[in-house]
Structure formats: C-alpha cells, structure tokens
A = this chain, B = another copy of it.
C-alpha cells in the first residue's frame, strides 16, 4: 500500500492491503479493529468537518497501551499512515482521517485516577476533560484548563493541541499542568517521561515537546496532570459595549490592573446566534459583551471587581452588571461556551483561533470587521480576550460556490491579519490540516526546516498523522 502524504511514497512490498489488515486484526482482540463502513464513517472527520477528509482502512479502538503499540508497529511495518484520535472534537482537522490509513482512536482508554496526596491526576487519553475535573473535585482539587468543549473533548486531544480555555488567562494552559506522560513512538516503543514530581529538568524537555505536537510525534497513552486546590467561588462582571473595539479597549485596561480569572468577549452576531439556539438571557441588541470573573479570596474579590468595573466605565461601557450568584454567573458563561455550537446551527462554519499581544486586540477586531465587510462574509467573534486569543467564526452557505470561495478568502485573510499584527494563527486549537497552509507565513522557512528535522528524527517513516501541522517540505 502507499503512504501518500507529501514527498514520501513507499510501496510496502509484497503484502497487499487486505492481507496486511487481516494481520492487524489477528494481532488484536476481537472488536478492536473496526472496518464496517458505517462505523468507520463516524471517525472520518473531526469538528472542523473537513469535506476532504479521507476514508481509513480501519479504525483501531485501542483498549490499552499495548494495543496502541501493536497498531503503531503494524503501521510502521506496512508504511500505513496512522491518525491518532481522541474524541474527534478538534476544530482544525487534526484527526481527519487519511485515505488508506488507519485511525487510532483512544476513546476506549478513559481511566482517571486521582492521587490526592501528590495532587495529581493520572489519566488515559480518551478520558474527557470533564471527567478529570469531576474526579479531582471529589478530593477538593481542580484541573483548570477548560476549553469550551470540556464536557465532550478528550484529555489526549487537549494534550495534543496544548488546549486552553476560559480560565487560562489566570491559570495557564494544558502544558503548564503536565508532569508526566507515556508516549508510544513511531516505531512502537513506549517511553515514560516525567512522573509525579513537580519540578524535573533531567534531560531534554521532551515532555513539553510532545504537548502540542498534534499526534505527529507520538501517541500519548497516559498522562500525569498537576492539580491545584479547588477554585474559590468569586464574582462575575458582565458589561455591554456599543462595539467590540470599545470592549477590547476595556479588556486591555482591565489586564493592566487585575488578574481576572476569566476575561471573555462576545459580539452581536454570536450573542444572537446563542439566543436563537437557546435563551441564555443575553440582550440581543448588545454590540459587544464583556464577561469577566474574579476568584480572589475574601474582600479582595470585591476590590478586583470594582477595578474591572471602573475600567469598563472608562472604556465607554453602556452598562456594567456584577453578581455573585452562582446560577446567574453560570448562565452567562454557558452563553459564551455555547457560541460555537450555536453558530454551527446557522450554516457551515470555519473556525479561527488567531491571537495577538493583548494591546493589539482593538486592531485585530477592527481588522476582522474590515475583512467581513470586504469579503461580504458573516464573521462572528468570541474571544479569550484577556489572553489576546480570539475565535472569529465564519458562517456561510457551503452549497453556494461563491459564498464558499469568499468564506475561505476571509479565513486566509484573518490569519494573514494576525500574522501582520505579530501574532499567531492559532492560540489553542492547533494547526491541524486546516491551517497548515499559513504556518510558513507565520514562522518562516527556517523554523519549518527545524520542525521537519525534529519530525524526521522522531518519525522517519512519516506515518504519524501525515498532513497535519507541517506543510510539505517542498513548500517550506
């Protein structure tokens, strides 16, 4: 069979695909290798809904690390592309299937164990982020990274993308919480990195290299995650602005005075999409909504909230509202978290994840509005504004070729804008397949050359998630 990703084209020899697959099936317990088309179909795309996703030969639903090793060794032996997959909720096509490859799903590996004395969670990659949070909470502990999809996304996927979330503005991202990891390398070797110790600089920083590697350097089969004490219930501030530009300026001002535990924005398009889908009590006439939280202890919370309120007023807020009511707060946060899903109900979507240094947020939102106007495309905007990380969401009718063309033009233009502002094409979702065309523009040929050297060192056959992250060498 052929490995048709980029410049590597290798015929695996005498054995044909059918025979090779039969060998894989016989090497694994019954039911682990899935080949019926109806089931396989479910594993072709992730939430990027990439129409060009391939069709794998099979899906391997591994139950443990040993089976992962078997699958990887088989893929290496037969030069078959292997796409690791968590819950398939990625937004960048990072786990889109490759034609003629296998998709290695970790969805069955869902164990979560808490070591409360060490304040760590030992997790399998298929466990959902919410499973880790729940298990930690039983011990008064907290695993902070909280992508909006935390109830349905896998820890493995979080590790692969170095996922962020709403609380990251104060508590950091996934990589800041990884203490240890088991990884199956491209030749099937399983290595154990790190452990339960908090600080460890023994050797090269390989642990941190695998976090964010989007399945291109190895398959994570276990991770040790640092936990911290449960978050203090604090207060929520909600502020209305006439425009995203003004709201962005408020974000910049807030960031200069307070370490908010949440600092998010929603624009009028996203607010209305959310209210169309399910009422969250958001005012549909709002130009821009700023949603912030302080979890400072005791009276310090009120002090922080007041500082944030003052910053909003100074930036021209039409209204500022604060609450310590848990349910009320939860409703606003849910509105923010449900934006993606709500917008998907409106049509086809293209998800962006661009980030800029925070002071340039107003320039970014203005530029995005300009792109929407120029291309005649609807772009909703929500943002982890306190981090400078935004999610422009392009909504369009994919059945209309002209609309499709303009949508993709807007997609590219938004990334180009972020790069021009000195920022990034992806703050937390990952490059996947959807954004790799813009990676060269952001990092340049020397960094890509360096990246390929690392990639080749770990995956000389190029079997691990080919087509994800790094553009073909010839394009670098």
Q: A444-B192, A454-B457 are in contact. Are A203 and B358 (CB under 8 A)?
A: no
A117 within 8 A of partner (CB): yes
Of A9-17, A298-306, A337-345, which binds chain B?
A298-306
Is B198's CB under 8 angstroms from A389's CB?
Answer: yes
Is A356's CB under 8 angstroms from B176's CB?
Answer: no
A357 to chain B, nearest CB (A): 4
**Contact partners of A189 in chain B: CB under 8 A:** 446
Interface range on chain A: under 10, 10 to 19, 20 to 34, or 35 or more?
A: 35 or more
A272 within 8 A of partner (CB): no
Is B117's CB under 8 angstroms from A359's CB?
Answer: yes
Is B198's CB under 8 angstroms from A388's CB?
Answer: yes
CA distance A453 to B217 in the complex (A): 12
A442 within 8 A of partner (CB): yes
Q: Count the copies.
A: 2
**Contact partners of A248 in chain B: CB under 8 A:** none
B-facing residues in A200-241 (Cβ within 8 Å) = 200-206, 208-213, 216-217, 228-229
CA distance A469 to B117 in the complex (A): 31
A195 within 8 A of partner (CB): yes
A305 to chain B, nearest CB (A): 13
A431 within 8 A of partner (CB): yes
CA distance A152 to B359 in the complex (A): 33
Is B439's CB under 8 angstroms from A202's CB?
Answer: yes
A376 within 8 A of partner (CB): no
* Chain B, residue nearest A224 (CB): B357
A162 within 8 A of partner (CB): yes
CA distance A169 to B203 in the complex (A): 21
Query: Which residue, of A210, A256, A428, has the highest number of chain B Cβ atoms within 10 A?
Result: A256
Of A43-51, A127-135, A403-411, A419-427, which binds chain B?
A419-427
Is B447's CB under 8 angstroms from A458's CB?
Answer: no
* Chain B, residue nearest A304 (CB): B297
Q: Report which of B228, B257, B447 forms a contact with A193, defined as CB distance below 8 A.
A: B447
A5 to chain B, nearest CB (A): 17
Is A427's CB under 8 angstroms from B204's CB?
Answer: no
**Contact partners of A427 in chain B: CB under 8 A:** 197-201
Is B446's CB under 8 angstroms from A199's CB?
Answer: no
Q: A191-B446, A450-B185 are in contact. Are A202 and B426 (CB under 8 A)?
A: yes
CA distance A192 to B442 in the complex (A): 10
Is A164's CB under 8 angstroms from B469's CB?
Answer: no
Q: Report which of B162, B388, B431, B457 forms a contact with A456, defined as CB distance below 8 A.
A: B457
A429 within 8 A of partner (CB): yes
Is A457's CB under 8 angstroms from B453's CB?
Answer: yes
Is B431's CB under 8 angstroms from A202's CB?
Answer: yes
Query: Which residue, of A120, A216, A355, has the highest number of chain B Cβ atoms within 10 A?
Result: A355
B-facing residues in A433-467 (Cβ within 8 Å) = 435, 439, 442-444, 446-448, 450-451, 453-458
CA distance A469 to B176 in the complex (A): 23
A188 to chain B, nearest CB (A): 11
A168 within 8 A of partner (CB): yes
CA distance A151 to B205 in the complex (A): 26
Q: Report which of B197, B210, B426 forms a contact with A423, defined as CB distance below 8 A.
A: B197
Query: Which residue, of A257, A299, A447, has the highest number of chain B Cβ atoms within 10 A?
Result: A447
CA distance A444 to B255 in the complex (A): 44
Query: Which residue, of A204, A426, A439, has the highest number of chain B Cβ atoms within 10 A?
Result: A204
Is A229's CB under 8 angstroms from B259's CB?
Answer: yes
A423 to chain B, nearest CB (A): 5
Is B208's CB under 8 angstroms from A175's CB?
Answer: yes
A248 to chain B, nearest CB (A): 13
CA distance A450 to B458 in the complex (A): 7
**Contact partners of A454 in chain B: CB under 8 A:** 204, 206, 209, 454, 457-458
* Chain B, residue nearest A172 (CB): B176
* Chain B, residue nearest A435 (CB): B202
Given A161-B201, A200-B426, A298-B299; 13 other pairs, CB 8 A cutoff: A120-B357, A191-B446, A191-B450, A193-B447, A198-B358, A199-B384, A201-B424, A202-B425, A203-B469, A204-B213, A205-B211, A209-B209, A296-B297
List 5 A-B pairs, Cβ < 8 Å.
A117-B256, A173-B199, A197-B422, A200-B423, A298-B300
Residues of A whose CB lies within 8 Å of any CB of B are 117-120, 161-162, 164, 168-169, 172-173, 175-176, 185, 189-193, 195-206, 208-213, 216-217, 228-229, 252, 255-259, 296-300, 303, 355-359, 384, 387-389, 422-431, 435, 439, 442-444, 446-448, 450-451, 453-458, 469-470
